[in-house]
Amino acid sequence: MEDKSLQPHDWFFKQMFSNPKSLQTVLDLFIPTLATKLDLSSITLLNTEKFTKKSQKFMLDLLFSCKINNEDAFVRFVFEHKSYVDKTLPIQLLYYNAVIWEETIKQKEYYPPIINIVFYHGKREWDIPTDLPAVKDKDLQEYTQKLKYLLIDLNRISDKELKNKLYQDVCTISAILTMKHIFEEVQNFKPIVKLLIEHRLDCLYTIFDLLY
């Protein structure tokens, strides 16, 4: 069932990136070393409603189960579109990872790896380290609990680089271009609209919903 309570950006993100092909395209573009290890046929979108033992409900963004080098794993996309960089994001990642493991351990006797990918298209520079905490003492670092996540920052990729890959997956890459320029004037989206009219009307309708 479609969640009407989602903010437009969140709804758009889930509509456009919830299929295995989109996941593969995003990884090919931004994290190619991971993409080569991922078994595309194993990717499964999971229910994003998770519950802790205290019945506290968490809504995750997009969560996939998959096999990476024949090992069971989770890939989780977190979508950040705030006008500011949310400093509490690492805390949220830790909470949600614990919830995923809490549910998984009921069926499995081990803790599968969780790969957190933060997808950011805000205007401000992202300034949260992707490896936390930052420990200067190398000996202490060995004993410190760490959080790592992969950052996809659309501010750091050129339009030319994206457009060169358009025919690899016109729908997903058009969605990425839309999010990258969503804060700009609507007329700037004419090239994307023209392309989708020719190739993918279904994607065009979803993009129109966001622009509207």
Same domain flag for 20 and 70:
yes
Same domain flag for 89 and 124:
yes
Q: Which residues contact 130 (CB under 8 A, 6 or more apart)?
A: 148, 149, 150, 151
> Which has the higher per-residue pLDDT, 177 or 191?
177
Same domain flag for 194 and 137:
no
The verdict on pTM exceeding 0.85 is no
Diameter of the chain measured on Cα atoms: 58
Residue 65 lies in a domain: yes
Q: What is the pLDDT of residues 97-149, one digit of tens each?
A: 998 999 899 888 889 999 999 988 888 889 999 999 988 888 888 888 889 99
Residue 2 lies in a domain: no
Last residue of a domain, one of 134, 156, 178: 156
CATH of residue 16's domain is 3.40.1350
CA 95 to chain centre: 17
Name the burial class of residue 23, with classes exposed (0-12), middle (13-18) and buried (19+) by CB atoms within 10 angstroms of its CB: buried
With pLDDT > 90 as the criterion, what percentage of the chain qualifies? 27
pLDDT score at 172: 84
Radius of gyration from C-alpha coordinates of the chain: 18
pLDDT at 64 over 50: yes
Residue 165 lies in a domain: yes
Q: Could you tell me the residue range of the domain that residue 106 belongs to?
A: 8-156
pLDDT at 56 over 60: no
CA-to-CA distance for 207 and 212, rounded, in angstroms?
A: 9
CA-to-CA distance for 195 and 140, rounded, in angstroms?
A: 53
Last residue of a domain, one of 116, 136, 156: 156
